[in-house]
Structure 1
């Protein structure tokens, strides 16, 4: 008799800081399949391959090269089913508001992220379809 495992939602986490990626993966990997990217271009490569099964994208705002706001806008246009969450360690509220408005952001989180916050936000993003951007 074969037992089927429940499918875990897939989350892509984008951050140029390796420790931040490891910390996020550790906080979320129990309930989610976590795919990690070190920047917007790497995340886009992952999405081109796995976009149909990705439920949530969590991206840092300030990164070398393209910033998270650019990635959010691109994902909103090409993968509207993906819930988008923006993370920042900076209090640049105007830039964050612009990125949030342009990318239909579900939530904006400030670093450092706590384990409880990560789990709570991911649960809301994956279990509250009425709140998901369409």
Structure 2
């Protein structure tokens, strides 16, 4: 790597659907290092190892076991430097807006995710100014 080239930001993507994980990684392109997790526990294991270098966590809302909003709530407390994005294919009523208002979620995205949407949101998330409870 040349000195003028910047290191890629690290993103953790959490989804119980394997195809969704592969599609997200492909959509992020070569601009980001994408670490994939199939559930909240695997995501937390990744964060325990790599949390200091992770810039963004993107998670599906509905997954077996812990749902994505619960995962992001924990991430907001343990890793406040990480930008948190929630993805859903469902209109989950009051739970989703409440997560945003509580400061636990930077953005909510609806599935299916388009390549341009993924790239735009990741660019916005990695450019967002740091705040104590982002």
How far apart, CA to CA, are the structure 2 residues paired with 1:63 and 1:86? 12
- 3-state SS of 1:80 partner: coil
The count of aligned residue pairs is 133
State the distance in 1 between where 2:30 and 2:2 align: 19
> Which residue matches 2:63?
63
Please report how far the alpha carbon of residue 97 of structure 1 lies from its aligned counterpart in structure 2 after TM superposition: 1.9
Describe the SS at the equivalent of 1:92: coil
Q: Distance in 2 between matches of 1:103 and 1:127?
A: 17
Shift in Å at residue 100 of structure 1? Answer: 3.0
| 8 A Cα contact 1:13 1:57, kept in partner | yes
TM-score, normalising length: structure 1? 0.92
In structure 2, what is the Cα distance between the partners aligned to 1:9 and 1:67?
25
Partner Cα distance (1:124, 1:117) in 2: 10
Report the Cα distance in structure 1 between the residues aligned to 2:49 and 2:101, rounded to whole angstroms: 26
Instruction: Give SS of 2:56's match.
Output: strand
How many Å apart are 1:92 and its aligned residue? 1.2
Normalised by the length of structure 2, the TM-score is: 0.92
Is contact 1:125–1:132 with CA below 8 Å preserved after alignment? no
State the distance in 2 between where 1:126 and 1:114 align. Answer: 18
Residues 55, 126 of structure 1: 8 Å contact kept? yes
Q: Which structure 1 residue ranges, 5 or more long, are not aligned?
A: none
The aligned runs of 1:1-134 (5 Å cut-off) are 3-4=2-3, 5-102=5-102, 104-129=104-129, 133-134=133-134
Partner secondary structure for residue 129 of structure 1? coil
In the TM superposition, residue 131 of structure 1 has moved relative to its aligned partner by 7.7
Q: Report the CA distance between 1:128 and its aligned residue.
A: 2.5
For residues 78 and 130 of structure 1, the distance between their equivalents in structure 2, rounded to whole angstroms, comes to: 15
Structure 1 SS opposite 2:11? strand
What is the alpha-carbon root mean square deviation over aligned residues?
Answer: 1.8
